[in-house]
Amino acid sequence: MFSYRHAFHAGNHADVLKHTVLIATLDHMLEKDAALTVVDTHAGAGLYRLDGDYADTSGEASQGVLRLLAPPPPAAPPKKGAPPKAEVPQADAITRYLEVIGDFNPKGGARIYPGSPFITQHLLRDHDRLKLFELHPTDGRTLTANIAQLDAGRQISVLTEDGFGSATKFLPPPSRRALVLCDPSYEIKSDYARVLDFVEGALKRFATGTYAVWYPIIPRPEAHDLPRRLKTMATKAGKSWLHATLTVKSSKITTTPAGETRRPGLPASGMFLINPPYTLKAQMAAALPQLAERLGQDRNATFSLDAGG
């Protein structure tokens, strides 16, 4: 149950997608003066070192945020007689994401990678509130210590409880404005069903809240059923929804000439939002093609974007 440690995966392509969406969503919701409550059901340790042992072991950040920070490769020269391709400016959502990462790395690069709790706190105003849940004993202690350094007082609450079972107690908040981020590890197959139960219960308590669910796209029926069932849930409730996915490589297991089996690691992930900001679809329509191009590891790199309601 407690085997997953996000430190091995911090800054990978899934974090890029999740945090690009999170920042764009928060920026829009924070345009209103009324207080915002953000609930993070699986907060992790909150802050990660990309030059530490965990990140070095996986190397996943090198195919994620570090690739975005690197200078783009020179464009291929146009074919003889063809007009040069017009340079497409970087999508605003990607630029904004890299700005936030840069705020944690004033000397450049990305030695420090902020998880969702620190990204959120960095953007919130004094009268906003952040509720963080983390059940993993080690990550819970690390999160508590990291948050203590912020001296944020009552703005942030850290709870070493099961977010699935406890997070709805903060809904609806007094201001009746909330963003709920739900991104468990999904190492336990039952997490998929628990996500659905959690969102359904949260919607019943607070129908106008914004709910953001991250999930891995892997060869497992539950992973493919999750966005479909969330869409059905949102549609039945009469709520708008948005579904964005980013694929960076094939999910096929390959065998080397020496007979070694190579598993590809996480090939893709998705974000499903209920009651998303109306501005988010256009932002992701500009960002996703660029993310697929810049983070793609083979010819299977692609993206999708759907919305309704």
DSSP string, 61-87: GGGTHHHHHSPPPPPPPPPTTSPPPPP
> Which amino acid does the sequence have at 102?
G
The two structure tokens encoding residue 249? 């490589």
Residue 274, beta-bridge partner list: 211, 241
List the one residue out of 215, 217, 216, 199 whose CA is nearest residue 207. 199
- Cα dist. 34→124, 168, 177, 204, 257 in Å? 12, 20, 8, 22, 61
List the one residue out of 97, 124, 130 whose CA is nearest residue 30. 124
Sequence-distant contacts of 73-77: CB under 8 A, at least 24 apart: none
Q: Which distant-in-sequence residues (6+ apart) come within 8 Å of 255 by Cβ?
A: 261, 262
- Tell me how far apart the alpha carbons of residues 296 and 63 are, in angstroms, rounded to a whole number: 9
List the one residue out of 255, 184, 216 whose CA is nearest residue 12. 216
Residue with structure tokens 């994620």?
Answer: 64
Active-site annotation holder among 27, 128, 139, 183? 183
Alpha helices in the chain (DSSP H): 13-29, 53-58, 65-69, 92-103, 116-123, 137-148, 163-166, 190-205, 221-236, 280-295
Establish whether 126 is a catalytic residue: no
Point out the residues that are catalytic.
183
